A and B are shown apart, each in its own frame.
Chain A
Amino acid sequence: MVERIDCPCGSTDGLSFPPITLLDQENGEREMKRFSLVLAILGLLLTSMPVLAVNTTQPLTVNMAISARAKLTLGVNAINFADADPDSSPSILATENPVSVTAKVRTGAASTATLTHLAGGDLTSGGNTIAISNVTWTVTGAGFVAGTMNKTTAQSAGNWTGSGSYSGTYSYSIVNSWSYATGNYTASTTYTLTAP
Protein backbone atom coordinates (compact mmCIF):
# COMPACT_ATOMS: atom_id res chain seq x y z
CA MET A 1 0.00 0.00 0.00
CA VAL A 2 1.30 3.35 -0.90
CA GLU A 3 0.54 6.20 1.32
CA ARG A 4 0.90 9.62 0.07
CA ILE A 5 2.75 12.03 2.16
CA ASP A 6 2.87 15.64 1.37
CA CYS A 7 6.19 17.24 1.16
CA PRO A 8 6.67 19.21 4.39
CA CYS A 9 8.72 21.75 2.62
CA GLY A 10 5.89 22.62 0.43
CA SER A 11 6.41 24.54 -2.73
CA THR A 12 6.38 28.30 -2.74
CA ASP A 13 8.29 29.11 -5.80
CA GLY A 14 6.49 26.99 -8.21
CA LEU A 15 9.12 24.22 -8.03
CA SER A 16 7.80 20.98 -6.96
CA PHE A 17 9.32 17.66 -5.77
CA PRO A 18 7.86 14.33 -6.29
CA PRO A 19 6.09 13.12 -3.23
CA ILE A 20 8.05 10.90 -0.90
CA THR A 21 6.54 7.60 -0.31
CA LEU A 22 7.18 4.94 2.43
CA LEU A 23 8.81 2.83 -0.18
CA ASP A 24 11.30 5.53 -0.82
CA GLN A 25 11.99 5.79 2.87
CA GLU A 26 12.74 2.09 3.22
CA ASN A 27 15.03 2.22 0.26
CA GLY A 28 16.83 5.14 1.79
CA GLU A 29 17.32 3.36 5.04
CA ARG A 30 18.60 0.33 3.17
CA GLU A 31 20.99 2.50 1.24
CA MET A 32 22.02 4.14 4.43
CA LYS A 33 22.81 0.79 6.01
CA ARG A 34 24.70 -0.26 2.92
CA PHE A 35 26.66 2.96 3.01
CA SER A 36 27.40 2.46 6.68
CA LEU A 37 28.55 -1.08 5.96
CA VAL A 38 30.84 0.18 3.22
CA LEU A 39 32.22 2.77 5.59
CA ALA A 40 32.76 0.13 8.25
CA ILE A 41 34.61 -2.15 5.83
CA LEU A 42 36.65 0.77 4.60
CA GLY A 43 37.46 1.62 8.20
CA LEU A 44 38.52 -1.92 8.83
CA LEU A 45 40.67 -1.85 5.76
CA LEU A 46 42.29 1.38 6.85
CA THR A 47 42.93 0.16 10.35
CA SER A 48 44.23 -3.12 9.04
CA MET A 49 46.98 -1.43 7.01
CA PRO A 50 49.70 -2.06 9.57
CA VAL A 51 48.74 -5.67 9.78
CA LEU A 52 49.06 -6.09 6.13
CA ALA A 53 52.41 -4.08 5.90
CA VAL A 54 55.47 -6.11 4.97
CA ASN A 55 57.70 -6.61 8.00
CA THR A 56 60.85 -8.78 8.09
CA THR A 57 63.67 -9.42 10.54
CA GLN A 58 67.18 -10.64 9.98
CA PRO A 59 69.25 -11.99 12.84
CA LEU A 60 72.88 -10.90 13.06
CA THR A 61 75.30 -12.85 15.17
CA VAL A 62 78.22 -10.87 16.48
CA ASN A 63 81.29 -12.89 17.30
CA MET A 64 84.43 -11.67 18.99
CA ALA A 65 87.23 -13.95 19.99
CA ILE A 66 88.99 -12.82 23.15
CA SER A 67 91.95 -15.04 23.62
CA ALA A 68 93.94 -15.41 26.75
CA ARG A 69 96.67 -12.81 26.77
CA ALA A 70 99.51 -11.90 29.09
CA LYS A 71 101.85 -8.96 29.05
CA LEU A 72 104.48 -8.27 31.67
CA THR A 73 106.50 -5.09 31.98
CA LEU A 74 109.27 -4.39 34.46
CA GLY A 75 110.59 -0.89 34.86
CA VAL A 76 114.20 -2.06 34.50
CA ASN A 77 116.02 -4.99 32.97
CA ALA A 78 118.72 -5.14 35.62
CA ILE A 79 119.13 -4.31 39.25
CA ASN A 80 122.37 -3.59 41.08
CA PHE A 81 123.51 -4.03 44.64
CA ALA A 82 126.38 -1.80 45.68
CA ASP A 83 129.08 -2.90 48.07
CA ALA A 84 128.49 -1.96 51.68
CA ASP A 85 129.77 -2.63 55.18
CA PRO A 86 127.88 -5.67 56.48
CA ASP A 87 127.86 -4.21 59.98
CA SER A 88 126.23 -0.93 59.07
CA SER A 89 124.25 -2.37 56.12
CA PRO A 90 123.25 -5.93 56.94
CA SER A 91 120.81 -5.70 54.07
CA ILE A 92 121.63 -3.86 50.84
CA LEU A 93 118.86 -2.30 48.81
CA ALA A 94 118.99 -2.43 45.04
CA THR A 95 119.93 0.91 43.53
CA GLU A 96 116.86 0.80 41.27
CA ASN A 97 114.28 0.31 44.04
CA PRO A 98 111.35 0.53 43.72
CA VAL A 99 111.02 -1.21 40.37
CA SER A 100 107.67 -0.68 38.71
CA VAL A 101 105.86 -3.73 37.40
CA THR A 102 102.71 -4.06 35.35
CA ALA A 103 101.00 -7.36 34.70
CA LYS A 104 98.26 -7.26 32.10
CA VAL A 105 96.16 -10.34 31.61
CA ARG A 106 93.08 -11.44 29.80
CA THR A 107 91.67 -14.66 31.07
CA GLY A 108 88.46 -16.21 32.32
CA ALA A 109 86.52 -14.29 34.93
CA ALA A 110 87.19 -16.99 37.48
CA SER A 111 90.62 -17.93 36.22
CA THR A 112 93.74 -17.17 38.20
CA ALA A 113 96.60 -15.43 36.48
CA THR A 114 99.93 -16.13 38.08
CA LEU A 115 103.26 -14.34 38.08
CA THR A 116 106.26 -16.39 39.08
CA HIS A 117 109.96 -15.76 39.36
CA LEU A 118 112.80 -18.18 38.84
CA ALA A 119 116.52 -17.49 39.06
CA GLY A 120 118.79 -19.12 36.54
CA GLY A 121 121.32 -19.78 39.28
CA ASP A 122 123.22 -18.23 42.15
CA LEU A 123 125.05 -14.94 41.87
CA THR A 124 128.44 -15.81 40.44
CA SER A 125 131.78 -14.07 40.05
CA GLY A 126 134.24 -16.40 38.45
CA GLY A 127 134.35 -19.37 40.74
CA ASN A 128 132.76 -17.55 43.63
CA THR A 129 129.07 -17.63 44.38
CA ILE A 130 126.54 -15.93 46.57
CA ALA A 131 123.40 -17.99 47.10
CA ILE A 132 120.51 -16.41 45.23
CA SER A 133 118.34 -17.05 48.26
CA ASN A 134 120.04 -14.06 49.83
CA VAL A 135 118.01 -11.90 47.48
CA THR A 136 114.51 -11.08 48.61
CA TRP A 137 111.85 -8.66 47.47
CA THR A 138 108.98 -6.74 48.95
CA VAL A 139 106.00 -5.47 47.02
CA THR A 140 103.37 -2.82 46.74
CA GLY A 141 100.17 -3.28 44.77
CA ALA A 142 97.24 -5.63 45.21
CA GLY A 143 97.97 -9.17 44.18
CA PHE A 144 101.73 -8.86 44.10
CA VAL A 145 103.53 -11.27 46.39
CA ALA A 146 106.78 -10.74 48.29
CA GLY A 147 109.29 -13.53 48.32
CA THR A 148 112.77 -14.95 48.22
CA MET A 149 114.61 -15.82 45.04
CA ASN A 150 115.08 -19.46 44.25
CA LYS A 151 117.07 -21.15 41.50
CA THR A 152 115.21 -24.46 41.46
CA THR A 153 111.57 -23.72 42.20
CA ALA A 154 109.67 -20.84 40.68
CA GLN A 155 108.43 -18.53 43.40
CA SER A 156 105.10 -16.75 43.39
CA ALA A 157 105.44 -13.05 42.66
CA GLY A 158 101.77 -12.29 42.13
CA ASN A 159 98.35 -13.72 41.39
CA TRP A 160 95.03 -12.29 40.37
CA THR A 161 91.57 -13.55 39.51
CA GLY A 162 90.18 -12.51 36.16
CA SER A 163 91.33 -10.12 33.52
CA GLY A 164 92.87 -6.77 34.29
CA SER A 165 95.91 -4.57 34.37
CA TYR A 166 97.68 -4.80 37.66
CA SER A 167 100.40 -2.37 38.69
CA GLY A 168 102.77 -2.44 41.61
CA THR A 169 106.41 -2.28 42.59
CA TYR A 170 109.15 -4.66 43.62
CA SER A 171 111.91 -3.61 46.00
CA TYR A 172 114.88 -5.91 46.11
CA SER A 173 117.43 -6.42 48.85
CA ILE A 174 120.33 -8.75 49.44
CA VAL A 175 121.58 -10.04 52.74
CA ASN A 176 125.06 -8.61 53.26
CA SER A 177 127.78 -10.72 54.80
CA TRP A 178 131.43 -10.62 55.64
CA SER A 179 131.70 -14.08 54.17
CA TYR A 180 131.18 -12.91 50.59
CA ALA A 181 134.28 -13.08 48.45
CA THR A 182 135.08 -9.89 46.62
CA GLY A 183 134.00 -9.65 43.00
CA ASN A 184 131.36 -8.50 40.58
CA TYR A 185 128.52 -10.96 40.78
CA THR A 186 125.70 -11.50 38.35
CA ALA A 187 122.68 -13.73 37.99
CA SER A 188 119.92 -13.99 35.40
CA THR A 189 116.36 -14.42 36.48
CA THR A 190 113.04 -14.72 34.70
CA TYR A 191 109.56 -13.58 35.56
CA THR A 192 106.72 -15.52 33.93
CA LEU A 193 103.17 -14.23 33.78
CA THR A 194 100.61 -16.88 32.90
CA ALA A 195 96.98 -16.33 31.98
CA PRO A 196 95.21 -19.71 31.81
Chain B
Amino acid sequence: MKKLSLVLVIGLGLVLMAGNVFAASATQGLTINATVANTAKLTLGVATIAFPDADPDTTPSIAATQNPVTVTAKAKTTNAGAVTLTVVTGGDLTSGSDTILIGNVTWTVTGAGFVAGTMNKTTAQSAGSWTGSGSRAGTFSYNLANSWAYATGAYTATATYTLTAP
Protein backbone atom coordinates (compact mmCIF):
# COMPACT_ATOMS: atom_id res chain seq x y z
CA MET B 1 0.00 0.00 0.00
CA LYS B 2 2.87 2.33 0.89
CA LYS B 3 4.60 1.45 -2.39
CA LEU B 4 1.45 2.16 -4.31
CA SER B 5 1.09 5.52 -2.59
CA LEU B 6 4.70 6.40 -3.34
CA VAL B 7 4.29 5.50 -6.98
CA LEU B 8 1.15 7.59 -7.17
CA VAL B 9 2.84 10.55 -5.52
CA ILE B 10 5.86 10.35 -7.81
CA GLY B 11 3.71 9.83 -10.85
CA LEU B 12 1.44 12.70 -9.99
CA GLY B 13 4.43 14.90 -9.29
CA LEU B 14 5.94 14.08 -12.65
CA VAL B 15 2.69 14.82 -14.41
CA LEU B 16 2.40 18.16 -12.65
CA MET B 17 6.02 19.00 -13.35
CA ALA B 18 5.62 18.06 -16.97
CA GLY B 19 3.21 20.91 -17.38
CA ASN B 20 6.01 23.36 -16.74
CA VAL B 21 8.89 21.43 -18.19
CA PHE B 22 7.37 20.60 -21.53
CA ALA B 23 5.51 23.77 -22.40
CA ALA B 24 6.48 27.39 -22.41
CA SER B 25 5.04 30.65 -23.57
CA ALA B 26 6.14 34.23 -23.86
CA THR B 27 4.06 37.36 -24.27
CA GLN B 28 4.86 40.74 -25.73
CA GLY B 29 2.58 43.76 -25.46
CA LEU B 30 2.03 46.14 -28.34
CA THR B 31 0.26 49.45 -27.86
CA ILE B 32 -1.50 50.89 -30.86
CA ASN B 33 -2.00 54.63 -31.14
CA ALA B 34 -3.95 56.43 -33.82
CA THR B 35 -4.56 60.11 -34.28
CA VAL B 36 -7.65 61.40 -35.99
CA ALA B 37 -7.55 65.15 -36.54
CA ASN B 38 -10.33 67.52 -37.58
CA THR B 39 -10.66 67.47 -41.30
CA ALA B 40 -13.18 68.92 -43.73
CA LYS B 41 -13.32 68.34 -47.42
CA LEU B 42 -15.94 69.72 -49.80
CA THR B 43 -16.33 68.76 -53.41
CA LEU B 44 -18.69 70.30 -55.93
CA GLY B 45 -19.25 68.60 -59.23
CA VAL B 46 -18.66 71.80 -61.16
CA ALA B 47 -16.87 75.05 -60.57
CA THR B 48 -19.30 77.14 -62.55
CA ILE B 49 -22.98 77.13 -63.23
CA ALA B 50 -24.72 79.01 -66.01
CA PHE B 51 -28.27 80.18 -66.55
CA PRO B 52 -29.26 80.50 -70.23
CA ASP B 53 -31.50 83.25 -71.45
CA ALA B 54 -35.19 82.38 -71.52
CA ASP B 55 -38.60 83.88 -72.01
CA PRO B 56 -39.85 85.02 -68.59
CA ASP B 57 -43.36 84.13 -69.51
CA THR B 58 -42.64 80.57 -70.48
CA THR B 59 -39.71 80.09 -68.13
CA PRO B 60 -40.30 82.10 -65.00
CA SER B 61 -37.54 80.12 -63.32
CA ILE B 62 -34.43 79.21 -65.25
CA ALA B 63 -32.65 76.04 -64.23
CA ALA B 64 -28.89 76.04 -64.35
CA THR B 65 -27.52 74.08 -67.24
CA GLN B 66 -25.38 71.96 -64.91
CA ASN B 67 -28.25 70.80 -62.67
CA PRO B 68 -28.08 68.69 -60.66
CA VAL B 69 -24.67 69.53 -59.32
CA THR B 70 -23.17 66.79 -57.20
CA VAL B 71 -21.80 67.75 -53.82
CA THR B 72 -19.87 65.74 -51.28
CA ALA B 73 -19.17 67.01 -47.78
CA LYS B 74 -16.62 64.96 -45.87
CA ALA B 75 -15.74 65.77 -42.31
CA LYS B 76 -13.88 64.29 -39.38
CA THR B 77 -14.94 65.73 -36.07
CA THR B 78 -16.05 64.62 -32.64
CA ASN B 79 -19.08 62.43 -32.28
CA ALA B 80 -21.11 65.41 -31.16
CA GLY B 81 -19.42 67.86 -33.48
CA ALA B 82 -21.77 69.95 -35.63
CA VAL B 83 -20.60 69.96 -39.23
CA THR B 84 -21.96 72.88 -41.18
CA LEU B 85 -22.02 73.86 -44.84
CA THR B 86 -22.78 77.44 -45.73
CA VAL B 87 -22.73 79.57 -48.84
CA VAL B 88 -22.31 83.29 -49.32
CA THR B 89 -21.85 85.33 -52.48
CA GLY B 90 -19.38 88.06 -53.04
CA GLY B 91 -22.16 90.27 -54.40
CA ASP B 92 -25.04 90.40 -56.83
CA LEU B 93 -24.88 89.17 -60.40
CA THR B 94 -23.28 91.99 -62.32
CA SER B 95 -22.82 92.92 -65.92
CA GLY B 96 -21.00 96.15 -66.16
CA SER B 97 -23.02 98.49 -64.05
CA ASP B 98 -26.17 96.40 -64.34
CA THR B 99 -27.08 94.01 -61.56
CA ILE B 100 -29.46 91.18 -60.82
CA LEU B 101 -29.99 90.64 -57.15
CA ILE B 102 -28.30 87.47 -56.00
CA GLY B 103 -31.44 86.77 -53.96
CA ASN B 104 -33.02 85.66 -57.24
CA VAL B 105 -30.86 82.58 -57.22
CA THR B 106 -32.19 79.66 -55.19
CA TRP B 107 -31.30 76.03 -54.91
CA THR B 108 -32.96 72.76 -54.04
CA VAL B 109 -31.22 69.72 -52.70
CA THR B 110 -31.14 65.97 -52.53
CA GLY B 111 -29.27 64.04 -49.85
CA ALA B 112 -29.66 63.84 -46.10
CA GLY B 113 -28.47 66.90 -44.27
CA PHE B 114 -28.30 69.19 -47.25
CA VAL B 115 -30.40 72.34 -46.95
CA ALA B 116 -32.21 74.22 -49.72
CA GLY B 117 -31.98 77.99 -49.70
CA THR B 118 -31.53 81.35 -51.32
CA MET B 119 -28.26 83.03 -52.15
CA ASN B 120 -27.27 85.96 -50.01
CA LYS B 121 -24.39 88.36 -50.37
CA THR B 122 -24.24 89.52 -46.80
CA THR B 123 -25.16 86.60 -44.60
CA ALA B 124 -23.90 83.09 -45.13
CA GLN B 125 -26.78 80.73 -45.74
CA SER B 126 -26.95 77.18 -44.50
CA ALA B 127 -26.55 74.61 -47.24
CA GLY B 128 -26.16 71.58 -44.98
CA SER B 129 -25.61 70.40 -41.46
CA TRP B 130 -24.67 67.09 -39.85
CA THR B 131 -23.53 65.73 -36.54
CA GLY B 132 -20.28 63.86 -36.27
CA SER B 133 -17.81 62.55 -38.81
CA GLY B 134 -18.84 61.24 -42.13
CA SER B 135 -18.95 61.54 -45.87
CA ARG B 136 -22.21 63.00 -47.12
CA ALA B 137 -23.24 63.15 -50.75
CA GLY B 138 -26.08 65.00 -52.39
CA THR B 139 -26.96 67.41 -55.14
CA PHE B 140 -27.72 71.08 -55.54
CA SER B 141 -30.03 72.29 -58.27
CA TYR B 142 -29.92 76.01 -58.93
CA ASN B 143 -32.63 78.26 -60.30
CA LEU B 144 -32.77 81.90 -61.23
CA ALA B 145 -36.01 83.82 -61.05
CA ASN B 146 -36.56 85.17 -64.58
CA SER B 147 -37.85 88.67 -65.17
CA TRP B 148 -38.60 91.09 -67.96
CA ALA B 149 -36.90 93.68 -65.81
CA TYR B 150 -33.44 92.34 -66.29
CA ALA B 151 -31.19 94.39 -68.51
CA THR B 152 -29.47 92.48 -71.24
CA GLY B 153 -25.95 91.44 -70.59
CA ALA B 154 -23.66 88.64 -69.42
CA TYR B 155 -23.87 88.56 -65.67
CA THR B 156 -21.56 86.93 -63.23
CA ALA B 157 -21.21 86.46 -59.50
CA THR B 158 -18.96 84.47 -57.23
CA ALA B 159 -20.25 82.30 -54.42
CA THR B 160 -18.26 80.53 -51.74
CA TYR B 161 -19.25 77.37 -49.94
CA THR B 162 -17.67 76.70 -46.53
CA LEU B 163 -17.69 73.32 -44.81
CA THR B 164 -16.77 73.45 -41.14
CA ALA B 165 -15.86 70.53 -38.85
CA PRO B 166 -15.34 71.81 -35.30
Interface of A toward B, CB cutoff 8 Å: 65, 67-74, 76-83, 85-87, 92, 105-107, 117, 119, 123, 125, 127-128, 130, 132, 135, 149, 172, 174, 177-196
Q: How far is the CB of A124 from chain B (nearest CB, A)?
A: 10
B26, B27, B133: the one within 8 Å of A181 (CB):
B133
Which A residues lie within 8 Å of B29 (CB)? 77, 188-191
Which of under 10, 10 to 19, 20 to 34, or 35 or more describes the interface residues of B? 20 to 34
Task: From the candidates B20, B31, B74, name the one contacting A188 in the complex (CB within 8 A).
Answer: B31
Known: A68-B21, A125-B36, A195-B25. A180 touches B31 (CB 8 A): no
| Complex Cα gap A73–B29 (Å) | 10
Instruction: Fill in one digit per residue for B8-23: 1 if any A CB lies within 8 Å of its CB, else 0.
Output: 0000000000001111
Tell me whether B135 is interfacial, beta carbon within 8 Å. yes
CB <8 Å contact, A77 and B25: no
Interface string of B84-99 (1 = CB under 8 A from A): 0000000000000000
Which chain B residues in 116-141 approach chain A with CB under 8 Å? 132-135
Measured in the bound complex, the distance between the Cα atoms of B20 and A69 in whole Å is 10
The 7 A-B pairs with the shortest beta carbon distances in the complex, nearest first, are A83-B37, A78-B31, A81-B34, A178-B135, A68-B24, A70-B26, A185-B34
- Give chain A nearest CB distance to B70 CB in angstroms: 15
Q: Are A79 and B32 in contact (CB under 8 A)?
A: yes
Q: Which B residue's beta carbon lies closest to that of A125?
A: B36
Q: Which residues of B does A touch, CB under 8 Å?
A: 20-39, 41, 74-79, 81, 132-135, 165
Cβ A180 vs Cβ B27 within 8 A:
no
- Contact partner of B24 among A70, A82, A187, CB < 8 A? A70
